[in-house]
Structure formats: structure tokens, C-alpha cells
Amino acid sequence: MSTETPSTADEPSDDTSDDTRPPAAGTVTRLVTAAVVVVLGGAALAGAWNLGLGSPSKPGPGTWPALVSAALIILGVFLATAARRLDDAERFTRTSLLVIVAVGTMVAYVAVISVIGFEIPTVLLALFWLRVLGRESWRTSIVVSLGATCAFYALFVGALKVTIPHLF
């Protein structure tokens, strides 16, 4: 006979005995997440519309962003309709804030790349993600950050001739 208390709609019981796994998200959390996906998709679709969609024979700059945005909206609606049946989402915890920090640093990266080039921001972003968010050693963080930046430079600037701001 089980002595567990029944779960509420927002706090499903965790049938696994793995203590390292984050707690499962409830229906309310899954619905809020689905709504956020739909809103982001709608905002991106509005931005794509402003870029110009073009036509099927002559696509505009907003064509691909519009298609991706439409996919986001459709997936968000699917998530909302399946919110009661799905149980594989994790509850937001303090570690979920790492995602917000990562997105914030990416926004800062995009903001400064046109001002000082991509090399310094790329090294700093990778270093921050590896050392602070990933808790890697200083040696690993520095080597991987510099190595990845050199590889990106060789690929995008050297081989593909992408017109991105760069120092060298």
C-alpha cells in the first residue's frame, strides 16, 4: 500500500526514483510554456512580415523567418492541446535561470558584434558559457574559447567569406 499523497494538476507525482532528475512540470507550467512559444512565434512572424515575404517564385528576406515562425506557432498550439497528456517537461527551478542568463549573454553578444567585431565577443561569450554556466576548468574554458573562435574565423571569414564585422 502506497503512502504517497495524490498530486495536484500543477504538481504531478514523480514515478522515478532518480534523485538527480528535476521535478516534472505540471499542466499549468506546460500551458504557460506553450503560450510563450506561440507569442514568440507571433512576434517573429510580425517581424518577418515587416521584412517582406515576397512570393513563391521570388522569396523575400522574411520568407524563411516567416516559415520558422509559423512552425513555432503550430508547435506551441500542439503543446497547449497536449499539455494534460505530456509528462516529460521539467519544472522551472533555480537552474532554469541559467537559460535566461545564456539568452541574455547572447543578446549582448549580438549587440556588440557590429561595434567591435566578432572575435572578442565570441571568445568572451564562449569563456563565460564554459567557465560560469558550464563550470569547466579555466584551462578548458580558455583553450576551447580560443580554439572555437579561431575555427569560426577560419570557416566564416576565411572559407565562406561571410561579411561579418571582424578585427583582422
Domain count, the chain: 2
Q: At what angle do helices 119-128 and 97-116 cross, to 10 degrees?
A: 170
Are 116 and 62 contained in the same domain? no
Predicted confidence at residue 131, as pLDDT, reads 97
Place of cell 561579418: 164
Are 114 and 59 contained in the same domain? no
The answer to whether residue 8 is domain-embedded is no
Amino acid code (one letter) for 3: T
Predicted confidence at residue 7, as pLDDT, reads 47
Name the 3-class secondary structure at 23.
Answer: coil
The answer to whether residue 102 is domain-embedded is yes
Domain endpoint, select from 14, 49, 81: 81
Residue 93: C-alpha distances to residues 23, 58, 77, 99 (Å) = 9, 46, 24, 11
Are 38 and 69 contained in the same domain? yes
Kindly list the averaged pLDDT for each block of 10 residues, start to end, along the chain of length 168.
48 56 79 92 92 86 91 95 81 80 92 90 97 96 97 92 83
Predicted confidence at residue 18, as pLDDT, reads 61
Predicted confidence at residue 20, as pLDDT, reads 73
Q: Is 51 exposed, middle or buried (0-12, 13-18, 19+ CB in 10 A)?
A: middle
Are 106 and 146 contained in the same domain? yes
Residue 55: C-alpha distances to residues 42, 48, 159 (Å) = 20, 13, 32
Are 75 and 106 contained in the same domain? no
Rounded Cα gap, residues 103 and 109, in angstroms:
10
Structural domain range at position 57? 27-81
The answer to whether residue 21 is domain-embedded is no
Q: At what angle do helices 138-152 and 119-128 cross, to 10 degrees?
A: 150
